[in-house]
């Protein structure tokens, strides 16, 4: 008679379909709010994590990346690809999955889809940055680039920061129409705009999420006035940016992990000694975030160096809700797997800007031929 396998050999698995069921069960805004709190909890213990820049394998067809991290109790990594050409073949341009394991035994305790989870985490991390860096009375957000991430960004800012309106712009009107349609009934006032400049009018928070793999200029210095929080999340590889470097010269810049951000973030345009503040120090109260109402704060979570974090109660509640919905396969993982490192699957780059001047935006000349593509891959 053969011996039954160890319970540790039965790894719980969360599929894309069941992840969607879980989101509907919990509620999208509640999930984004809890994920934001979980991300912030891990930022408060930033120094204990084993932080490794993402491992990327580039080819002519796209990129495949691994994003590992550990807090000494649990270890996790995310696998994610980016293949823009897939869209023409009827395939997703991004897919992702993650694995969580015990450090003590090396046994995996969770295998999960992370395509949808990536979108949720990226939005939650952006909202956490805005919680600390955006104007306290921010009510309007501009969303430039209306691809797969746009709705999640808007809903996270609504749930966490309390925005009431979102202004949309994309060079592809179909993308803007898609985003507006998906946000209908969300409680947000949605405006479709004719240009990036039009979109940022009256917005206290500006998020850019575009896909051109080049030194693009989505926002120029003369477009940005005092008091704006910029969340630039599209620059996810060397040679890819969204902001004109002159914006950085007059801004205070916040990053998550300088070794990665200086290679792939907006500050790859700047000198190696360009001053930055690490976001975890702001979260812990060791460094100032927004100092005054006129400060131009921008915090961009650049998806090249990502993390997927669920911690403490949120990690347990997600797993327990999954079990209630019949999502898990095999026995529940050991309780310690629900530590706040439980879903630290990779680490995100982050970038923030705070204007040191009181300058108001100048008129912006038309720039014929300047275009950007909407990302079909999910940042993060």
Q: How many residues does the chain have?
A: 380
**176 and 159 belong to one structural domain:** yes
Residues 6+ positions from 19 with CB-CB distance below 8 Å: 112, 113, 116, 117, 327
Check whether residue 56 and residue 151 sit in a common domain: no
| 110's tokens | 């969770």
Q: If you write DSSP's letter for every residue of 152-183 in order, what string do you get?
A: HHHHHHHHHT---EEEEE-SSHHHHHHHHHHH
CB 375 within 8 Å of CB 148:
yes
Query: Is residue 374 one of the residues assigned to a domain?
Result: no
157/173 Cα distance (integer angstroms): 23
Looking at the fold, whether 73 and 163 belong to one and the same domain comes out as: no
Sheet of 277-278, strands arranged across: 277-278, 251-255, 351-355, 298-300
Q: What is the CATH number of the domain that holds 191?
A: 3.40.50.720
- pTM of the predicted structure, to 2 decimals: 0.76
Backbone dihedral region for residue 12 (phi beyond 0: left; psi -120 to 50: alpha; all else: beta): beta
Work out the burial of residue 201: count CB atoms within 10 Å of its CB; fewer than 13 is exposed, 13-18 middle, 19 or more buried. middle
Confirm if 35 and 127 have CB atoms less than 8 A apart. Answer: no
Tell me whether residue 236 is one of the annotated catalytic residues. yes
Query: What's the pLDDT at 272?
Result: 86
**pLDDT score of 1:** 55
172-178: long-range contacts (C-beta < 8 A, 24 or more apart)? 172/146, 172/374, 175/146, 175/147, 175/150, 175/374, 176/146, 178/146
> Which of these is catalytic: 170, 221, 236, 252?
236
Rounded to whole angstroms, what are the CA distances from 159 to 89, 127, 154, 226, 332? 36, 9, 9, 25, 30
Indicate whether 319 belongs to any domain.
yes
Q: Are residues 209 and 187 in the same domain?
A: yes
Tell me, what CATH number does 328's domain have?
3.30.1780.10
pLDDT of residue 377: 42
- Token reading at 252: 């205070």
Residue the block writes with tokens 């060079």: 171
Question: Do 190 and 286 fall within a single domain?
Answer: yes
331 & 217 share domain = no
Q: Is residue 372 part of a domain?
A: no
- The answer as to whether 108 is a domain residue is yes
Q: Tell me how far the alpha carbon of residue 301 is from its chain's centroid.
A: 5
**Is 193 found in the same domain as 52?**
no
Contact (Cβ atoms closer than 8 angstroms) between residue 352 and residue 302: no
Q: Provide the pLDDT for residue 353.
A: 45
Give the contacts of 93 (CB within 8 A, at least 6 positions apart): 62, 82, 83, 84, 85, 86, 87, 375, 376, 377
* In-domain check, residue 373: no
pLDDT (0 to 100) of residue 237: 67
Q: What is the pLDDT along the chain (380 residues), one digit of tens a residue?
A: 577 777 767 889 999 999 999 999 999 999 999 999 999 999 999 999 998 888 889 888 888 999 999 999 999 999 999 887 887 898 888 899 999 999 999 999 999 999 999 999 999 999 999 999 999 889 999 999 998 889 999 999 999 999 999 999 998 999 999 999 999 999 999 999 999 999 999 999 999 988 666 667 778 778 888 889 998 887 666 666 677 777 888 888 888 888 877 777 777 777 888 888 899 999 999 988 876 555 555 444 433 222 222 233 333 333 343 343 333 333 333 333 222 222 223 333 333 444 444 444 444 333 333 333 444 444 44
Residues 305 and 260: their CA atoms lie apart, in Å, by 7
Count of domains for the chain: 2
Q: Per the domain annotation, does 53 fall within a domain?
A: yes
Residues 50, 155, single domain; the answer is no
For residues 348 and 280, give the distance between their C-alpha atoms in angstroms, rounded to a whole number.
12
Same domain for 259 and 322, yes or no, is: no
- Candidates 84, 65, 67; CA nearest to 75 is 67
Strands 241-243 vs 215-219: parallel, antiparallel or unpaired: parallel
Domain that holds residue 40: 7-117+308-338
Judge if 86 and 130 occupy the same domain. no
Same domain, 94 and 148: no
Longest Cα separation, the chain: 81
Residues 270, 198 within the same domain:
yes
User: 42 in a domain, yes or no?
Assistant: yes
């Amino acid at each position: 008679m053969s011996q039954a396998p160890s319970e540790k050999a039965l790894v719980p698995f969360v599929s894309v379909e069941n992840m969607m069921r879980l989101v509907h069960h919990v509620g999208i805004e509640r999930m984004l709010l809890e994920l934001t709190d979980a991300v912030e909890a891990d930022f408060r213990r930033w120094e204990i994590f084993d932080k490794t820049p993402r491992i990327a394998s580039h080819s002519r067809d796209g990129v495949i990346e691994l994003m590992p991290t550990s807090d000494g109790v649990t270890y996790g990594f995310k696998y994610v690809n980016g293949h823009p050409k897939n869209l023409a073949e009827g395939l997703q341009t991004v897919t992702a999955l993650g694995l969580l394991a015990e450090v003590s035994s090396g046994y995996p305790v969770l295998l999960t889809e992370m395509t949808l989870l990536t979108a949720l985490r990226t939005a939650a991390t952006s909202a956490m940055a805005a919680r600390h860096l955006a104007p306290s009375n921010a009510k309007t957000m501009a969303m430039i680039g209306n691809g797969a991430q746009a709705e999640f960004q808007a809903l996270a800012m609504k749930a966490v920061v309390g925005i009431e309106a979102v202004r949309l712009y994309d060079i592809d009107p179909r993308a803007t129409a898609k985003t507006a349609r998906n946000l209908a009934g969300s409680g947000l006032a949605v405006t479709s705009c004719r240009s990036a400049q039009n979109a940022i009018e009256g917005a206290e928070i500006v998020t850019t999420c575009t896909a051109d793999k080049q030194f693009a200029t989505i926002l120029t210095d003369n477009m940005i006035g005092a008091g704006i929080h910029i969340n630039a999340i599209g620059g996810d590889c060397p040679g890819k940016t969204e902001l004109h470097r002159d914006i950085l010269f007059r801004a205070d810049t916040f990053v998550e992990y300088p070794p990665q951000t200086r290679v792939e973030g907006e500050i790859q345009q700047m000198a190696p000694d360009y001053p930055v503040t690490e976001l975890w120090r702001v979260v812990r109260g060791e460094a100032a975030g927004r100092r005054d109402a006129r400060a131009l704060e921008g915090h961009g979570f650049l998806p090249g160096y990502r993390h997927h974090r669920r911690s403490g109660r949120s990690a347990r509640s997600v797993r327990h809700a999954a079990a209630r919905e019949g999502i898990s396969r095999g026995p529940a993982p050991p309780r310690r797997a629900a530590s706040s490192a439980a879903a630290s699957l990779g680490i995100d780059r982050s970038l923030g800007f705070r204007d040191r001047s009181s300058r108001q935006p100048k008129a912006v000349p038309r720039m014929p031929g300047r275009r950007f593509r909407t990302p079909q891959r999910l940042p993060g």
